[in-house]
Structure 1
Amino acid sequence: MNMWKKTMTATVACLMTFSLAACGSSDEGKTAGVSGDIKVYTRDSSSGTREAFEKGVDFEGSLTKNAIEVSSNDDMAAKVGADKNGIGYTSLSTDFEKNGVSALQYEGVTASSESVLDGSYKLQRPFMYVTRAAGDYGNDDKEQLVQAFLDFMQNSTEGMAIVKKNGGEVDESKAKPWDELSKKYEAVLGKDNSAITITTCGSTSVEKTVKASLEAFSPMAGNFKFTMNQSGSGDAVPRVLGKEKDGPNKGDIGFASRAFKEDGSEDISKAMESGQYCIDAVVAVVNKENTGVTSLTQAQLKSIFTGETLKWEDIK
């Protein structure tokens, strides 16, 4: 009888231990992700990505004073990827996996080519370009190469495919073969243009689409060289049309990851060309270890970026 009691006691103890262990596993599953202070990362005030994000989430001018400022789109991805408590925002063209970050849904919608083009993903913005004034390139061949490049990137079947492959969203239904479009530039395209350098400036978010386009176009246009001096959307107009257009940071084509301002501070009326070449999405990102957060609403993002919500476990 005593032996039976001892056996039953041991059995009950084992069952209780197993039950407690199982409960512990369940609790861990419910608290996946990270806890503690939220580390907010932001871009500098000249960034088109920052402007688009703050306007889209409706907290322009109310960013928390504790936000950590980063220098570029790539820097944002790298910094959040190195901080398990971090949150920031990047272009959809960002290599999320390489940087160790996860893209969050916005209002339950995943950012994708389809959701951007059909408008269901709301945090989106245009990629714009603006050039120097006609006759202000130093020589006619460079001016014609700039015209040809922009035509290739935004209107040709081949150019639009490159932009799309590198994260820009485009409507390819109106594209034409480059063989057809290039005829009007035959004189300059057939020359040896290796002594000419085209310089771009402005937004850092456009780097991937613009660099890929320039790399593909140069061999088709006399092997001109190019230099990319991307520092932020706010530098696009000043460096091609404004006070810096003849200085050390001058550019031939300026890019912005937002619409150009119409308040007089970004006058593009004298540009040889200006326009939009694709659409991009702005995506909220967190560290890949933060698996407990996959989607945030406008209200939740606003609460985080204005400093109202300070800890991950307090997100409601």
Structure 2
Amino acid sequence: MKRTVTLFMYAIFIVAILAGCGAQGNNSDSAKNGNEFDISREIHVISREEGSGTRGAFVELFGIQQKDSSGNEIDYTTEEARIVNNTAVMMTSVAGDIYSIGYISLGSLNDTVKALKIDGVEPTVSNVKSGKYKIARPFIIATKGEISKVVQDFIEFIMSSDGQKVVEENGYIPVLDNPAYSGDKPAGKIVVAGSSSVSPLMEKLKEAYLAINPNAQIEIQTSDSTTGINSVIDGICDIGMSSRELKESELNAGLTPITIAMDGLVVIVNKGNPADNLTSEQVRAIFTGEITQWSEVLE
């Protein structure tokens, strides 16, 4: 009898140990999966590369870029920021780091990350259209000098009701209410280069246009806004894509800009982050390095 009781107690002891180990394992897994958020941790700022139109628009809209005493525009993004070179890497980086914060195009937003309200306003197409959500910028294409018939025809498609429908269907804001496309479907090749934010929309416009005009060939080279604009200036491509306004020097180089859509800029965090809303001033302070811990914006 005594031996039976002893064995029974020993069995209970072993079960308790195993249960404890299991619980510890679950807690560890939760931390790894981002289910536990420590607000005392440092904010991991992720920004885009210099030359990115998305970065240019972001630092301007949030006041991160300001004039110095000599009147020069200076980008005060913190030197601690991790720099990534396209939208896809930005989203992957934020999705993989629970303490990170970054920014992307509204049209590129998916469910791998969480979009924050800014000043209490949700970043949606309707809020950008109404002007409630003020963090928005244009998507621009640029050409130089005389352009080929097929390039002109593609641009006319983009700005037609057919092209602007593609804009709207892909989560961006159309800019015109023009008649339907009525081009004569010329043959030829078009090279488009530039912004990784505009590129996903351009791919959809290319697909829709080629369905109507199979005589055309369109090559899209994705990089950043500045590279795209310089490629047009240098005659390397026919159409440059920019997710920012053109600079005076670029206009003086003979470029013709056309706004093809409007797009919101979205501040994103990891889905495990409890943050829901930040003020514009808090965003500015985070990206300039004045605010460095989550506890300063989460209470």
TM-score of the pair, normalised by structure 2? 0.80
Alignment of 1:31-110 (within 5 A): 33-35=37-39, 36-60=41-65, 61-97=75-111, 100-110=112-122
SS at match of 2:165: helix
**Quick check: 1:145–1:221 contact (8 Å CA) kept in 2?**
no
CA distance in 1, matches of 2:252, 2:196: 20
CA distance in 2, matches of 1:301, 1:274: 30
**Quick check: 1:128–1:258 contact (8 Å CA) kept in 2?**
yes
Q: Deviation of residue 241 (structure 1)? A: 1.7
Out of 253, 266, 270, the position equivalent to 2:254 is 270
CA distance in 2, matches of 1:274, 1:302: 29
CA distance in 1, matches of 2:92, 2:50: 19
Q: Deviation of residue 298 (structure 1)? A: 0.9
2:292 is the alignment partner of 1:286:
no
The aligned counterpart of 1:258 is 244
CA distance in 1, matches of 2:144, 2:171: 26
Matched positions, count: 254
Out of 210, 234, 248, the position equivalent to 1:218 is 210
The aligned counterpart of 2:180 is 177
Question: Could you report, residue by residue, the CA deviation over 1:111-162 in whole angstroms, capped at 9, with x for unpaired residues?
Answer: 1111111211111101111113215xxxxxxx111111111112x2221110
Give, as a single letter, the amino acid of the residue that structure 2 aligns with 1:205.
S
CA distance in 2, matches of 1:34, 1:289: 11
Q: Which runs of 5+ in 2 are unaligned?
A: 1-34, 66-74
- Identical residues among aligned pairs (%): 30
**Quick check: 1:125–1:280 contact (8 Å CA) kept in 2?**
yes
**Quick check: 2:115–2:268 contact (8 Å CA) kept in 1?**
yes
**Quick check: 1:167–1:209 contact (8 Å CA) kept in 2?**
no
Q: Which runs of 5+ in 1 are unaligned?
A: 1-30, 136-142
**Quick check: 2:150–2:189 contact (8 Å CA) kept in 1?**
no
Identify the structure with the greater strand proportion: 2
Question: Could you report, residue by residue, the CA deviation over 1:64-94 in whole angstroms, capped at 9, with x for unpaired residues?
Answer: 1100000111111111111111100000011
Q: Deviation of residue 59 (structure 1)? A: 1.3
**Quick check: 1:130–1:253 contact (8 Å CA) kept in 2?**
yes
TM-score of the pair, normalised by structure 1? 0.76
Question: Could you report, residue by residue, the CA deviation over 1:30-72 in whole angstroms, capped at 9, with x for unpaired residues?
Answer: x974431110000011011111111111111211110000011
Give, as a single letter, the amino acid of the residue that structure 1 aligns with 2:289.
G
2:160 is the alignment partner of 1:148:
no
Give, as a single letter, the amino acid of the residue that structure 2 aligns with 1:126.
P
Q: Deviation of residue 269 (structure 1)? A: 5.9
The aligned counterpart of 1:125 is 137
The aligned counterpart of 1:165 is 169
CA distance in 2, matches of 1:218, 1:270: 29
Q: Deviation of residue 270 (structure 1)? A: 3.1
